[in-house]
């Protein structure tokens, strides 16, 4: 008899506890707390920055250093759409169907040396009919591309931990149980971008970006139960974390635009990204360009590069004492581990070129105005060499 009273007493206490948690008053209290939290932290407008948005700004300041005196590059895009057809309402509209505006925003983040040229012919025609007059800027390059992959559940992992205990017999039988379940599923989104020369309408060889981002779908489930000889109660907690696909695509766009224009300008754009790795396309392009220069142009480029290190050498295209002293100083301070090198070879010049100091502080970045459109779009090494020989 005593056992039965204890059993029903414990069960009543548990039910009362659960019922108390589910009262209307408590529910309203929790709802108000959640609303206040969202109003304080979540509903205020914030800058929409991807992890690579700041890298695009750094890249713009890198161009101020590497491309000082070079013409502005004018860019335009064709429509960058979804090629997987998963943006269709019939497929659930799982991803955006048009990301052209994201690409435009990424290009415009770079700065004054890479200028985006909008293409809105209907608007211009309408304004022209009202008497407006426009100047026309022709782009140097077009960006083409599409969202090319969306693979659901390319990888997944799950784990379930369960435990149970049972004691007593007959009316005094008690069972305790619980389990913890965790599931993680990855999906993948891919974006392809290519660069097209506007004047020739040909793709620029090897200047493309093809990147993939993984999106995590994580769920958790916790269960517990307590039973007294057939009468039982329990609770269940569930949680789910799903990374936003639109936000993941913006990250993908910012990274891909950085890579595309970094390759097009032959600059070490990977230095703008934490733990970035050298791009073999840029390294090979610069190696071929440097090896194709005459000794005089090589010396001119070396002197121009030394000036970017803060050395006050004159661009004479001659291996004078001033140039020799500046080289010895820079290599001793920064590249002493390389030992003796010949800067007239690419192996000796490569660390000097790719290691130019970068000042990411906007206030201290070189304030050199870009050259208006009209100059030639020469490779980085050739342009610097020609400037040195002027």
Mean pLDDT across 153-158 = 56
Q: Mention every residue, 6+ apart, whose C-beta is less than 8 A from residue 236.
A: 221, 222, 223, 224
| Secondary structure of residue 144 in the 3-state scheme | strand
What are 315-332's pLDDT values in tens digits?
Answer: 999 999 999 999 999 999
Phi, psi of 175, rounded to the nearest 5 degrees: -125, 135
Give the pLDDT confidence score for residue 280 in this predicted structure.
Answer: 93
What mean pLDDT, rounded, does the chain reach?
76
Q: Which of 176-180, 199-203, 250-254, 276-280 has the lowest mean pLDDT?
A: 176-180
What are 238-249's pLDDT values in tens digits?
Answer: 554 445 677 788
Give the pLDDT confidence score for residue 228 in this predicted structure.
Answer: 57
Q: Which of 124-133, 341-350, 381-390 has the lowest mean pLDDT?
A: 381-390
Q: How confident is the model at residue 298 (pLDDT cuts 50, 70, 90)?
A: very high
The pair of three-digit structure tokens given for residue 175, joined into one six-digit string: 């069972």
Inter-helix orientation angle 346-354/321-334, to 10° = 70
Give the pLDDT confidence score for residue 213 in this predicted structure.
Answer: 81
Q: Which of 26-35, 235-244, 297-306 has the lowest mean pLDDT?
A: 235-244
**Whole-angstrom distance, CA of residue 297 vs CA of residue 278:** 25
Give the pLDDT confidence score for residue 150 in this predicted structure.
Answer: 78
| Secondary structure of residue 114 in the 3-state scheme | strand
**Whole-angstrom distance, CA of residue 83 vs CA of residue 194:** 15
Give the residues across from 179 on adjacent strands.
162, 223
**Whole-angstrom distance, CA of residue 149 vs CA of residue 143:** 18
Mean pLDDT across 140-144 = 94
Single pTM value for the model = 0.69
Q: Which of 78-92, 178-192, 372-386 has the lowest mean pLDDT?
A: 372-386
Q: How confident is the model at residue 76 (pLDDT cuts 50, 70, 90)?
A: very high
Question: Does residue 344 have a pLDDT over 70?
Answer: yes
Q: How confident is the model at residue 27 (pLDDT cuts 50, 70, 90)?
A: low
Q: How confident is the model at residue 365 (pLDDT cuts 50, 70, 90)?
A: very low
Give the pLDDT confidence score for residue 158 in this predicted structure.
Answer: 59
Phi, psi of 315, rounded to the nearest 5 degrees: -85, 90
Q: Output 123 or 4, whichever has higher pLDDT.
A: 123
Question: Does residue 309 have a pLDDT over 50?
Answer: yes
Q: Output 60 or 165, whichever has higher pLDDT.
A: 60
Q: Output 73 or 95, whichever has higher pLDDT.
A: 73
| Secondary structure of residue 31 in the 3-state scheme | helix
Give the pLDDT confidence score for residue 86 in this predicted structure.
Answer: 72
Q: Output 128 or 162, whichever has higher pLDDT.
A: 128
Mean pLDDT across 139-166 = 76
Radius of gyration of the chain (CA): 31
The pair of three-digit structure tokens given for residue 25, joined into one six-digit string: 């008053």
């Amino acid at each position: 008899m005593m056992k039965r009273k204890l059993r029903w007493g414990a069960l009543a206490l548990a039910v009362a506890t659960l019922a108390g948690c589910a009262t209307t008053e408590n529910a309203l209290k929790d709802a108000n707390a959640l609303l206040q939290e969202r109003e304080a932290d979540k509903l205020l407008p914030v800058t929409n920055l991807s992890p690579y948005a700041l890298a695009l700004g750094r890249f713009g300041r890198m161009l101020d250093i590497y491309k000082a005196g070079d013409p502005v590059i004018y860019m335009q895009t064709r429509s960058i759409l979804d090629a997987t057809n998963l943006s269709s309402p019939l497929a659930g509209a799982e991803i955006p169907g048009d990301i052209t505006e994201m690409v435009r925003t990424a290009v415009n983040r770079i700065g004054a040396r890479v200028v985006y040229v909008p293409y809105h012919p209907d608007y211009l025609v309408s304004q022209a009919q009202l008497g407006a007059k426009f100047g026309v800027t022709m782009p140097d390059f077009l960006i083409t591309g599409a969202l090319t992959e969306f693979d659901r559940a390319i990888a997944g992992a799950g784990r379930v931990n369960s435990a149970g205990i049972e004691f007593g017999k007959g009316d005094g039988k008690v069972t305790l149980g619980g389990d913890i379940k965790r599931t993680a599923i990855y999906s993948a989104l891919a974006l392809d971008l290519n660069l097209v020369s506007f004047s020739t309408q040909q793709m620029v060889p090897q200047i493309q970006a093809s990147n993939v981002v993984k999106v995590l779908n994580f769920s958790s489930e916790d269960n517990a139960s307590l039973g007294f000889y057939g009468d039982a109660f329990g609770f269940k907690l569930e949680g789910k974390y799903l990374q936003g696909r639109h936000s993941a695509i913006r990250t993908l766009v910012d990274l891909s635009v950085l890579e595309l224009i970094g390759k097009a300008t032959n600059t070490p754009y990977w230095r703008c990204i934490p733990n970035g790795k050298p791009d073999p396309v840029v390294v090979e392009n610069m190696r071929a360009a440097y090896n194709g220069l005459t000794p005089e142009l090589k010396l001119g480029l070396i002197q121009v590069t030394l000036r970017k290190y803060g050395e006050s050498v004159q661009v004479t295209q001659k291996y004078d004492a001033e140039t020799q002293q500046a080289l010895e100083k820079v290599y001793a301070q920064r590249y002493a581990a390389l030992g003796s090198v010949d800067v007239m070879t690419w192996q000796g010049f490569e660390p000097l070129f790719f290691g130019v100091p970068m000042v990411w502080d906007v206030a201290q970045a070189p304030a050199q105005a870009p050259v208006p459109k009209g100059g030639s779009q020469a490779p980085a090494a050739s342009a610097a060499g020609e400037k040195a020989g002027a």
